[in-house]
Structure 1
Amino acid sequence: MIDVESTDYLKEELRKIETWENEQKDLWFWEKIGRLPFMLLDKLTPKFIQDKIGLAIDELGNYIQTGGQYLIKEENILKKIAPHTPSNELHVGLLEQVPISQMDKIADEIANSRTKIATVQGATTGIGGIFTLAVDIPVLLGLSLKVLQEISLCYGYDPKEKSERIFIVKCLQFTSSDIVGKKAILDDLSSFHQGSQNQQMISQLQGWREVVTTYRDSFGWKKLFQMIPIAGMIFGAFINRSSISDVAEAGKMLFRKRRIMERLTQIEQGN
């Protein structure tokens, strides 16, 4: 591999990411009782809406195994990073020589774009209160998966691979975990760049439904305000914007860390 950054630069950027990791704090008190509003929501929501949410969550389960309907096409993202490369020559391996600063730029553009989409979507579904909230939850999860896949491609990781989809799920879990959960996930991901993660992490996933439930409940008390028709539009816009922003930030930091550590390893092995 041709060095695209110096060792000193990579180590400094790695220290910045580690500082960010250390700054991740425990959940706010109200976040910890996030399940309570959803217990209330379950009682108030008509059965046909609960069934619809259940079907959407079941469909998301296909993502781990096959990507399902949520697996994105890589060409649009790769074209942003390598705009002068012919379409028939675009592949994730091309990013091996791309500077991390360029990867960061595209990742930031994607995060900003998806955050705006989430804001509009949250405002739209917030208008109808509890009934449109039933639609909002699975859509927000879909947006989260989309932005994490796009960011993974920015740093040269292909979500078509099952191991990368597991990493994406871990990123999603990270955003909704308390301080103990975040530490455990960071420990899980610390050796991911060494290729020793697959079987261990697959065995640790106890089911996509559990992941989705945890993610949903983590912002349950916020969504309670979105149940109010019309006023829910304001809450929905803010909540979805902050949710996708947090997911995108975690994805960028965690994928970026992997790429930096891989490049440091390659430089060390080349010496």
Structure 2
Amino acid sequence: MTDSKEWLLTELKIVEDWEKDQSDLWFWEKIGRLPFKIMDKWTPDFIQKKISVLLDELGQYIQTGGRYLSSVKNIPNYYPNLHVRDLDDVRILPVSTMDSAVEKITNNRKRIATFQGATTGIGGLFTLTIDIPLLLSLQLKTLQDMAICYGYNPNEKEERLFVVKCLQFVSSDIVGKQAILAQLSQFDGPDESSRREVMSELQGWREVVFSFRDQIGWKKLFQMIPIAGLVFGAFINRSAVNDIAEAGKMLYRKRRIIERLRQH
């Protein structure tokens, strides 16, 4: 382990500053979400129903991982130039090395999201219902791969809950963001009762779906227009994956930095 205590404290401050910056967006978030809430009643039933299906899928994901689960067997692919074979090897890597692996994943997933949004948007109404579950799947996979890069195992139920909490964080307003940050700060704490309290809040994933409907579902109405949906789809999907990747990197990074500081 080559991370000095001074470097870790500096990097922790960067993450904490990022957390504070989230509160600066509250006014614009409320203004931005207002038309979506007003227009929600105009959202076609087929979109509402399709997004509602994700409710059950996220519940199954927390319980078993289902078809969304990433594999720790892919670890050598994240660190091709290093002799890294398992999570124990990952956990002793410098945080900066973990960051580099995550950056590569982020850039790759943003390209995939852009292509995916464009290809499903080109067909308008006929391909829109395909795009919604594909986007959720890409977001989940991105967060799980980031977890592995920072040495956490998405096969564990509590780690899958952390992934969903990251999704919930991105979809929340400032009040929700503050509450989730408070919960996640206890995730690796020594107080087992606090951790159990976070683990018991499995209903939180429902809020993810409702926010997904408000923020993503209505926006995707623009994709109902054939050809023009190509541009809207590419932009919306790339933006969605970029937001989740930024949040995932910061939240996982903070966990790893704090654990390192405890070892000093």
TM-score by length of 2: 0.90
Q: Which residue is 2:209 aligned to? A: 212
Per-residue CA deviation, residues 56-112 of structure 1 (Å, 9 max, x unaligned), is: 5423321100100000112223442264438xxx22121121001110000000000
The amino acid that maps onto 1:39 is K
Instruction: Measure how far apart 1:228 and its partner are.
Output: 1.7
The amino acid that maps onto 2:156 is E
Contact 1:172 1:247 in 2 (8 A): yes
The change in CA–CA distance for 1:136 and 1:37 in structure 2 (over 3 A counts) is farther
1:28 and 1:116 map into 2 onto residues whose CA distance is 29
Correspondence list, 1:63-82, <5 A = 63-81=61-79
Q: Which residue is 1:200 aligned to? A: 197
Q: Which residue is 2:252 aligned to? A: 255
1:230 and 1:8 map into 2 onto residues whose CA distance is 52
Q: Which residue is 1:10 aligned to? A: 8
2:240 and 2:234 map into 1 onto residues whose CA distance is 10
Structure 2 residue runs of 5 or longer lacking an equivalent are none
The change in CA–CA distance for 1:54 and 1:177 in structure 2 (over 3 A counts) is closer
Q: Which residue is 2:33 aligned to? A: 31
Q: Which residue is 2:122 aligned to? A: 127
The change in CA–CA distance for 1:183 and 1:96 in structure 2 (over 3 A counts) is same
The amino acid that maps onto 1:30 is G
Q: Which residue is 1:183 aligned to? A: 178
User: Quick check: 114-123 or 210-219, which moved more?
Assistant: 210-219
Contact 2:165 2:204 in 1 (8 A): no
Pairwise CA RMSD: 2.0
Contact 2:168 2:207 in 1 (8 A): no
The change in CA–CA distance for 1:133 and 1:35 in structure 2 (over 3 A counts) is farther
Instruction: Measure how far apart 1:254 and its partner are.
Output: 0.2
Contact 1:34 1:219 in 2 (8 A): no
The change in CA–CA distance for 1:84 and 1:23 in structure 2 (over 3 A counts) is closer
Correspondence list, 1:144-163, <5 A = 144-163=139-158
1:71 and 1:28 map into 2 onto residues whose CA distance is 33
Contact 2:114 2:235 in 1 (8 A): yes
The change in CA–CA distance for 1:108 and 1:223 in structure 2 (over 3 A counts) is same
1:29 and 1:50 map into 2 onto residues whose CA distance is 23
Contact 2:68 2:140 in 1 (8 A): yes
Q: Which residue is 1:226 aligned to? A: 223
Contact 2:75 2:86 in 1 (8 A): no
The change in CA–CA distance for 1:216 and 1:77 in structure 2 (over 3 A counts) is farther
Q: What stretches of structure 1 move > 6 A for 4+ residues in a row?
A: none
Instruction: Measure how far apart 1:237 and its partner are.
Output: 0.2
User: Quick check: 132-141 or 192-201, which moved more?
Assistant: 192-201
Structure 1 residue runs of 5 or longer lacking an equivalent are none
Q: Secondary structure at the match of 2:71?
A: coil
Instruction: Measure how far apart 1:28 and its partner are.
Output: 4.8
Give % identity.
Answer: 53
User: Quick check: 32-41 or 70-79, which moved more?
Assistant: 32-41
Q: Which residue is 1:265 aligned to? A: 262
The amino acid that maps onto 1:96 is R
Q: Which residue is 1:61 aligned to? A: 59
1:37 and 1:230 map into 2 onto residues whose CA distance is 23
TM-score by length of 1: 0.88
The amino acid that maps onto 1:227 is M
2:146 and 2:38 map into 1 onto residues whose CA distance is 33
The amino acid that maps onto 1:258 is R
Q: Which residue is 1:105 aligned to? A: 100
2:249 and 2:7 map into 1 onto residues whose CA distance is 18
Contact 2:165 2:205 in 1 (8 A): no
